[in-house]
Structure 1
């Protein structure tokens, strides 16, 4: 027995050593090839002829891009749809700007509205050599607020050459709007600092001036929507909010209608916030959340707001996102809104803020790296703890080539070794597939692949011994029962591994106590996106749909969303990892969803238990979608899908009525490309 154990150990060790050496050699080969290509590229770029031909190349690439767009559109109708999208976007940039400002009647109504809670909101603005037009725009936007119980706290670190800053503020302190509904120590409060102590130090000085129960943070060159405080106070009264934020836009020039980008955000999503400071502006929070700590910490200057938001949202009990564009971030030379490289130290500060946050949450070993989307949009690699066993459950019927491609890719590409594959056979009749099963049993894959026949178990048959109709949920549950792993990885038989460490990328999240299901990024064979997270109510049936569907694989996604791991309502069962404990806790797949929406239902059950579901773009696979069972487009398939859709909408009515917390209600539910639903903005304002 001892000899056998020693032999097995040595064999496993040698196998592991060979695999590691093979991977190391592959990496070395790729690095050599990369260096060679980089050398050739630099040599080409240094050639005088290459430099002189730049205008001609630019023109050629423009023509190629237009040709590709036409090709990707697929038809004249597709081109028209793209043009329409741009038209909606252009309209929205006005619709969400000054056109959204309240008229006189609405201003009077809001100023006269009495809430049960009418908290004083102290808005902190650190000043430093602020240009006159920026300063006036900022102050005017506060004076124009329809909620009047505010205090504007200004700490001025400007140098002697910018003495006009103080003069302008004293002018506005005499403005009638500054006296509207104010009592002593409210309105515009100004303090001239002896020296400039940077954005963190100056903002902390602002806080010393503040008397408010709630604190708001405004940059000296930005603009508030006139109703932002009104809607925030509504959130305080209706939802007992202690941390509030809204959607925002960047603009250039003299008018907020000259918008560059509009950022429509999800509700509070901790993984999104770790990956990038999506909350940003306009943060207002209950002062008690500071709990005696600093507002801004100077060691994180450049990303002091990200650090603060991570700390305060950890303490908050009711984080409320107001899904309205109520903050306008000015883009100008030297501002972060214009170019992060204008403040390169912000990148290191952001990375440090996230690292500090992760350590507070008990994570000791992790890696934070920038992504291709943006320097301050991060990939966070958590440590995989130990080597728990993963059970990969693959239901299959016929489709030999799909299954063979899937199993071969797992076995040959995966860098994680402690796994088993449970192939759940459910109805194949061909000799070829049965011959393949025999081949597996006589191959090296036999050590990890176990084939179980769903219909060999009499419990899965009808009372008369006949086979019931196909039930994907029942097949999955049966496969899980036959498995022995600590983690369950559901996989379609028509998938193919791309990322060699795909299991590790999923496992690092599935191991977290606060995470339920984790899903990867799936592509069609043409490298267009099949799955990048599921959105509730998206699509014609208003049940659930895939966002970024059929977009180019290298697309960055809306505000970089295809480049970082994030919280979502659901992920596809075509590639879904969950701990066995949590799978059992929610009772596995609901077998009343025989074919469709069972994965979404499963994820919502996990969410109902308080777990987060996560999509990560760093576990990539091809998915030859619906090759095994066909599409739900017509005939009996369409009838069945409609029936299961009705069942889903009935079961999750309250959840669906609230909308998807990770998908802004300003987006259309008819398209998966984050198109805006401009017409819906008015209803949001009146909600």
Structure 2
């Protein structure tokens, strides 16, 4: 028997600790524990009488006297279900299986946390008497377990679900038919180091749950992905000039920087070093040492300190190359960095700007915190300088824009990137999805103190403001919510009529709050609201629609007396609407900030922008939608799904306006001319799912950029009205829609230009692939 002890209150937490669901499950478990790591946020413990032998607090029921009697589990297949709500950095729960040898990570399974939503995973219990322990979170902080249970499955059902997940998500089998996958498992398991085909299948299934986001995962990624490549002769070998402004570096770090350049496998380079009056004799000797050692090293020195822009321009004046690369005096290039740059120049001869992924070096020289970047993303570049490091630019272009500008020190590289990319097409800005640059993150490591966040932020703000003015763009810029980030606001031009189209069927409990909030909480008032009634029979719903249309002249109710087809309903609504801007709105949407529509209208009026999407939250303040990433889950997934509303996201992207391939039609704005030009939503093939993704891709194919803004915030009670695909007919329809998307868009679904090929297509959290 195991005694489960209660926790009374955790002050300041999000939870009341009502673990009734766990207690009920425990009646059917041999042993199940919630392990909570003691830390400073848990500062009010009462009614605690024991800890487990790992120092974890056992907290399962409200009754400290409750004793749950042991009942052995039968061996077999089970579905593990868990709902964890938390305000931590946690990303996964873990279930440990003790078969008589204690608890260990080797005999455990992970379960990604969908904050406040049910997560599921099939497990196999192979030995009678197995005991179980459940750890709800993997990071300190407050949490609650809302739901936890195990459901016995038939072996056939379990294996079928496992195979389907592997075919949909695993990189080795993605897109295969089930038959082909089974054949490959049966014939190749031994070649992959497994004793049976089922052992390989289960390893692949487990792999689809693993969240690769830790330092150990990055080290494993490096070992797997960064073996030296065989370098092939290049048709063109451009001279690359590396500009290195130098000011009082730590000499060991400076030597590491220089050695990484001189050791480059690509030899057609020159290094332009400018000492900005460091006043350091040892540094002077070191610079001379490198100049004498290698004829490709050029050295100049200022007689007085003129700061980084002037030093960079002096280096630029010395340079004779076809392209310039920017390097801080203590950072390090990957051994084949310039080869990959030269290779990209050969593959894209029309391109003028190249940039790579990067990571950081800690004070011990260990690599961490990789930044796997988006492809060319103009609106993200306005929001932050995501291009630097490694940035490589056409020499004539850099000279044409005047090089570096004094007065922008601290963000001089952002200022340069904005000016050289101004007016370039996507084909002229090339992203190299490899970590070619290691940025030293130690204290005092850059030419300008990286700790001066206010200084660099103000310089960046000035750079973006000047860019907008020089390009005659009718927008303003303010500081973002995070250091070195910026918000560009595009004011509404004129007073365009916006047609908000809301399909619905019955469900007054969700429709009424949506409609009332749209009418009352929207500061931009020049809109019409079209409620498209899809055969409602609920008297309260019919009464409300009649009442609100009579009360507010902006509201019209139109009848759609046909079987549910989301695409067809919305196309009908657009045909009946009068606005020059179309807003597709779900009937379970509620605005949060009053200026949400002002923000979206200002963005969608830009000629180059197609669809504009909003930041949507579940009612528990976790992210439901922050843009769509192609390929996740098979076709497409929501970026940063289940992150908490307050989190910054992957390199601050949850807080930044940016271009994305698609946005959800739960709240989407588009100009009427664009909607009609691409033929609206696909009624024939995509009646329910993926019609918004397909629509956005058609818009992108027509030459527009889609955009997501975090400054239009709304709640979304996702799929409350329509329900789930929980019967054979709905499941068959869903599979047809998946097949259509795969057939119609092909490789585009696995090569999202606003994502990165080194990031996962399983999870929605930007972890490693």
> What TM bracket, shorter-length normalisation?
0.7 to 0.9
Residue in 2 that maps onto 1:362: 472
Give the distance between the partners of 2:88 and 2:282, measured in 1 at CA: 51
Residue in 2 that maps onto 1:213: 322
Give the distance between the partners of 2:735 and 2:411, measured in 1 at CA: 48
Give the distance between the partners of 1:210 and 1:263, measured in 2 at CA: 29
SS at match of 2:755: coil
In the alignment, does 2:129 pair up with 1:129? no
More off after superposition, 313-322 vs 121-130 = 313-322
Following superposition, the deviation at residue 526 of structure 1 comes to 1.4
Q: Which runs of 4+ in 1 moved over 4 A?
A: 55-59, 61-75, 79-88, 95-103, 335-341
Residue in 2 that maps onto 1:550: 642
Answer yes or no: is the 8 Å Cα contact 1:397–1:628 preserved in 2. yes
In the alignment, does 2:562 pair up with 1:562? no
TM-score when normalising by structure 1: 0.80
Which of 430, 434, 437 is residue 545 of structure 2 equivalent to? 437
Which of 169, 172, 179 is residue 290 of structure 2 equivalent to? 172
TM-score when normalising by structure 2: 0.72
Residue in 2 that maps onto 1:448: 554
Give the distance between the partners of 1:116 and 1:527, measured in 2 at CA: 54
Answer yes or no: is the 8 Å Cα contact 2:330–2:445 preserved in 1. no
Give the distance between the partners of 2:528 and 2:744, measured in 1 at CA: 34
Answer yes or no: is the 8 Å Cα contact 2:477–2:486 preserved in 1. no
Which of 586, 599, 602 is residue 678 of structure 2 equivalent to? 586
Answer yes or no: is the 8 Å Cα contact 2:505–2:535 preserved in 1. yes
Residue in 2 that maps onto 1:140: 259
> What runs of 5+ residues in structure 2 fail to find an aligned partner?
1-37, 46-55, 58-83, 96-109, 112-134, 140-208
Answer yes or no: is the 8 Å Cα contact 2:611–2:706 preserved in 1. yes
Give the distance between the partners of 2:277 and 2:224, measured in 1 at CA: 34
Following superposition, the deviation at residue 191 of structure 1 comes to 1.6
Answer yes or no: is the 8 Å Cα contact 1:101–1:226 preserved in 2. no
Structure 2 CA distance for partners of 1:404 and 1:67, relative to 1, 3 Å = closer
Give the distance between the partners of 1:637 and 1:81, measured in 2 at CA: 34
SS at match of 1:344: helix
Which of 443, 456, 471 is residue 333 of structure 1 equivalent to? 443
Deviations 1:83-110 (A, max 9, x none): 896775222443466886656xx5xx53
Answer yes or no: is the 8 Å Cα contact 1:141–1:224 preserved in 2. yes
Residue in 1 that maps onto 2:759: 667
Residue in 1 that maps onto 2:304: 195
1:6-405 mapped onto 2 (5 Å cutoff): 60=43, 69=88, 76=95, 77-78=110-111, 79=135, 89-95=214-220, 109-110=230-231, 113-160=232-279, 162-175=280-293, 178=294, 187-240=296-349, 241-257=351-367, 259=368, 261-317=369-425, 318-335=428-445, 340-342=450-452, 344-371=454-481, 374-405=482-513
Structure 2 CA distance for partners of 1:365 and 1:616, relative to 1, 3 Å = closer
Residue in 1 that maps onto 2:697: 604
Residue in 1 that maps onto 2:144: none
Give the distance between the partners of 1:134 and 1:497, measured in 2 at CA: 51
Give the distance between the partners of 1:88 and 1:237, measured in 2 at CA: 34
Answer yes or no: is the 8 Å Cα contact 1:204–1:294 preserved in 2. no
Answer yes or no: is the 8 Å Cα contact 1:289–1:316 preserved in 2. no
Following superposition, the deviation at residue 203 of structure 1 comes to 0.7
Give the distance between the partners of 1:337 and 1:95, measured in 2 at CA: 32
Structure 2 CA distance for partners of 1:494 and 1:74, relative to 1, 3 Å = farther
Answer yes or no: is the 8 Å Cα contact 1:97–1:256 preserved in 2. no
Following superposition, the deviation at residue 630 of structure 1 comes to 1.3
Answer yes or no: is the 8 Å Cα contact 1:89–1:676 preserved in 2. no
Structure 2 CA distance for partners of 1:310 and 1:480, relative to 1, 3 Å = same
Give the distance between the partners of 1:333 and 1:133, measured in 2 at CA: 14
Which has the larger strand fraction? 2
Deviations 1:512-548 (A, max 9, x none): 1110011111111111111110010111xx2111111
Give the distance between the partners of 2:395 and 2:87, measured in 1 at CA: 53
Indicate the structure whose relative CO is greater, using CA pairs within 8 Å and at least 6 residues apart.
Answer: 1
Which of 565, 584, 597 is residue 490 of structure 1 equivalent to? 584
More off after superposition, 485-494 vs 84-93 = 84-93
Following superposition, the deviation at residue 381 of structure 1 comes to 1.5
Residue in 2 that maps onto 1:42: none
Answer yes or no: is the 8 Å Cα contact 1:502–1:620 preserved in 2. yes
Answer yes or no: is the 8 Å Cα contact 1:301–1:349 preserved in 2. yes
Answer yes or no: is the 8 Å Cα contact 1:335–1:342 preserved in 2. no
Following superposition, the deviation at residue 256 of structure 1 comes to 3.6
Answer yes or no: is the 8 Å Cα contact 1:331–1:337 preserved in 2. no
Give the distance between the partners of 1:71 and 1:192, measured in 2 at CA: 50
In the alignment, does 2:533 pair up with 1:473? no
Give the distance between the partners of 2:223 and 2:472, measured in 1 at CA: 46
More off after superposition, 60-69 vs 620-629 = 60-69
SS at match of 1:298: coil
> What runs of 5+ residues in structure 1 fail to find an aligned partner?
1-54, 179-185, 456-466, 678-687
Give the distance between the partners of 1:147 and 1:332, measured in 2 at CA: 28
SS at match of 1:527: coil
Structure 2 CA distance for partners of 1:356 and 1:67, relative to 1, 3 Å = closer
Which of 663, 669, 672 is residue 571 of structure 1 equivalent to? 663
Aligned residues: 586
Give the distance between the partners of 1:271 and 1:86, measured in 2 at CA: 29
SS at match of 1:249: strand
Following superposition, the deviation at residue 655 of structure 1 comes to 2.3
More off after superposition, 73-82 vs 480-489 = 73-82
Answer yes or no: is the 8 Å Cα contact 1:125–1:218 preserved in 2. yes
Following superposition, the deviation at residue 121 of structure 1 comes to 0.4
Give the distance between the partners of 1:245 and 1:127, measured in 2 at CA: 22
Structure 2 CA distance for partners of 1:364 and 1:190, relative to 1, 3 Å = same
Deviations 1:594-635 (A, max 9, x none): 111110111011101111111111111111111111123553
Structure 2 CA distance for partners of 1:429 and 1:66, relative to 1, 3 Å = closer
Following superposition, the deviation at residue 653 of structure 1 comes to 1.5
Give the distance between the partners of 1:151 and 1:338, measured in 2 at CA: 23
Following superposition, the deviation at residue 357 of structure 1 comes to 1.0
Structure 2 CA distance for partners of 1:393 and 1:349, relative to 1, 3 Å = same
Deviations 1:3-41 (A, max 9, x none): xxxxxxxxxxxxxxxxxxxxxxxxxxxxxxxxxxxxxxx
1:644-663 mapped onto 2 (5 Å cutoff): 644-657=737-750, 659-663=751-755
Give the distance between the partners of 1:437 and 1:631, measured in 2 at CA: 25
Give the distance between the partners of 1:616 and 1:417, measured in 2 at CA: 20
